[in-house]
């Protein structure tokens, strides 16, 4: 069976929700939208990960969220007398406040019933989407808003010799509330820091293992990338290889905010946390105690939790990868060469998130990048002029 809709959004995460909210603000009726996500609900995976890691507040300032009005979240907190949940000088929203605000946006924009529990198994340049359940949807526009990625043994930009990990348990597979006497957490980003924090809460001794000293940074990219300061020079670069190099340099190999490092430093001073820096090797002993070596020195542990990150890669979304190949779209670092409107070869499919880094820069996968990508979706679907009236709509 087939149905016809105006817009199909693939993915119900922050990128998809932002695109949907902007489109409704630009005049589309929610019935014009069909959102496809295996989780069957807005922000299902996002909320699950935040709960797993025990994340108390976001890393992004309060002006970055799915609503077109940048001050809508602040106003929401003020109206409910919850401004104490905006943390620090940047007003980082608490996780519960952000969740409640997103629920408010979903209800206010009439988006509560548009998410369909299914998966996309094929998409073509004309906008025909095939679902795992066998249904075909013919759409005028398709917005691919998932975050396809492949696990990485080394962070982006590092050489293969910087870290050699054979196999261990990825953190998503671990019961983080269970006490383990000694845990090695491998990775130098904020996810790894949250894992260290969770293990400490469970009473474990933690060996925090990184290939380089942990870098402190308030945000995962410098604030200059959120505006024209860095982006003007970025968009002036024609060579996609050079663009990718700038993206990788801006993001680095993972950073941790100073407030988190201060919290973990107290555990380090108490002898409950040991930081080790160097070349890391992990040997999974097939159910026995894994062996961890740092620069050749063995570190005795009971479990190893990997948080070494992943890389955006179109191959992790086979339908999109096939579309790029059929359309003759080249890849750089696993990212497709999209046109300026984020379309695949000028067809009906636009791509948001980290796969759009060669157009949107290093913040493409963040809430700020979701807002900029959503503006281009509105331009393609509702017309360029519609972008400038969203806040007043």
pLDDT for 154 equals 39
In a domain, 236, yes or no: no
Among 246, 273, 308, the domain boundary falls at 308
Same domain (yes/no): 26, 81: yes
pLDDT at 1: 62
164-183 pLDDT tens trace: 444 478 888 888 888 999 99
Specify the number of domains making up the chain: 2
Please report, to the nearest 10 degrees, the dihedral formed by the alpha carbons of residues 18, 21, 22, 27 taken in order. Answer: 160
CA angle 214, 86, 74 (to 5 degrees): 130
Q: Provide CB contacts within 8 A for 82, sequence distance 6+.
A: 97
Range of the domain at 281: 153-218+257-308
Q: How far apart are CA 312 and CA 334, in angstroms?
A: 7
How buried is residue 388: exposed, middle or buried, by Cβ count under 10 Å (0-12/13-18/19+)? exposed
- The pLDDT value given to residue 100: 98
Q: Same domain for 11 and 128?
A: yes
Structure tokens at 14: 């922050």
250, part of any domain: no
Encode pLDDT of 13-44 as tens digits: 999 999 999 999 999 999 999 999 999 999 99
Residues 171 and 299 in one domain: yes
Tell me: do 115 and 52 sit in the same domain: yes
Per-residue model confidence as pLDDT tens digits over 94-105:
999 999 999 999
Instruction: Give the pTM.
Output: 0.92
Nearest residue to 148 (alpha-carbon basis) of 306, 292, 356, 296: 356
Best CA proximity match to 306, nearest among 169, 144, 179, 154: 169
Phi then psi dihedrals of residue 153, to 5 deg: -80, -20
Both 186 and 59 in one domain: the answer is: no
In a domain, 48, yes or no: yes
**Pair 145, 206 in one domain:** no
373 found inside a domain:
yes
Percent of the chain with pLDDT over 90: 81
Answer yes or no: do 32 and 102 share one domain: yes
Domain match, 178 and 92 both? no
203, 109: one domain: no
Yes or no: say if 341 and 206 are a contact pair by the CB < 8 Å rule. Answer: no
Check residues 274 and 252 and name the one with the higher pLDDT.
Answer: 274
Residue 328: predicted pLDDT: 97
The CATH number linked to 172 is: 3.50.50.60
Nearest-angstrom CA–CA distance, 42 and 261: 32
96, 163: one domain: no
Per-residue pLDDT tens over the stretch 63-72: 999 999 999 9
In tens, the pLDDT along 128-142 reads 999 999 999 999 999
Least confident of 101-110, 280-289, 320-329, 346-355: 280-289
In whole numbers, what is the pLDDT of the chain averaged over residues? 91
Total residue count of the chain as it appears in this document: 393
Judged by average pLDDT, the poorest of 7-11, 121-125, 309-313, 321-325 is 309-313
Residues 79 and 208 in one domain: no
Rg of the chain on CA atoms, in Å: 22
In a domain, 157, yes or no: yes
Distances in Å between the alpha carbon of 90 and those of 93, 146, 216?
Answer: 9, 28, 16
In a domain, 122, yes or no: yes
- Is the residue at 224 inside a domain? no
> Which stretches within the chain are classed as H helix?
14-25, 44-53, 72-79, 95-108, 190-201, 228-235, 240-251, 258-269, 318-326, 357-360, 367-382
Can you tell me the distance from the alpha carbon of 339 to that of 259, in angstroms, rounded to the nearest whole number? 39
Question: Does one domain contain both 85 and 142?
Answer: yes
């Amino acid at each position: 069976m087939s149905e016809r809709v105006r817009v199909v959004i693939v993915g119900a995460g922050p990128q998809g929700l932002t695109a949907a909210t902007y489109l409704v603000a630009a005049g589309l009726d929610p019935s014009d939208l069909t959102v496809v996500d295996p989780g069957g609900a807005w922000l299902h995976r996002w909320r699950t990960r935040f709960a797993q890691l025990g994340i108390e507040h976001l890393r992004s300032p309060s002006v970055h969220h799915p609503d077109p009005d940048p001050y809508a979240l602040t106003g929401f907190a003020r109206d409910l007398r919850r401004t104490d949940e905006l943390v620090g000088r940047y007003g980082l929203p608490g996780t519960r406040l952000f969740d409640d605000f997103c629920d408010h946006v979903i209800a206010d924009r009439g988006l509560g019933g548009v998410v369909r529990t299914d998966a996309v198994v094929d998409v073509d340049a004309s906008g025909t989407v095939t679902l795992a359940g066998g249904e075909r949807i013919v759409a005028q526009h398709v917005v691919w808003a998932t975050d396809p990625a492949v696990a990485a043994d080394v962070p982006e930009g590092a050489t293969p010799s910087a870290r050699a990990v054979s196999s261990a348990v990825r953190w998503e597979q671990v019961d983080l509330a269970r006490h383990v006497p000694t845990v090695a957490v491998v990775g130098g980003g904020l996810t790894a820091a949250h894992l260290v924090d969770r293990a400490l809460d469970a009473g474990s001794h933690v060996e925090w293992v990184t290939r380089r000293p942990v870098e402190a940074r308030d945000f995962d990219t410098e604030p200059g990338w959120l505006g024209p300061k860095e982006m003007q020079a970025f968009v002036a670069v024609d060579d996609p290889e050079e663009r990718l190099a700038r993206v990788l340099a801006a993001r680095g190999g993972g950073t941790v905010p100073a407030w988190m490092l201060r919290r973990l430093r107290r555990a380090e001073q108490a002898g409950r946390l040991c930081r080790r820096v160097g070349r890391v090797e992990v040997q999974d002993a097939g159910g026995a105690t894994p062996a961890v070596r740092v620069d050749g020195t063995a570190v005795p542990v009971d479990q190893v939790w990997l948080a070494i990150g992943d890389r955006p890669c179109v191959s992790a979304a086979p339908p999109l990868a096939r579309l790029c190949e059929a359309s003759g779209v080249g890849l750089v670092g696993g990212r497709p060469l999209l046109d300026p409107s984020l379309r695949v070869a000028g067809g009906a499919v636009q791509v948001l998130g980290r796969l759009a880094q060669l157009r949107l820069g290093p913040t493409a996968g963040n809430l700020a990048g979701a807002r900029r990508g959503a503006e281009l979706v509105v331009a393609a679907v509702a017309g360029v002029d519609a972008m400038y009236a969203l806040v007043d709509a």
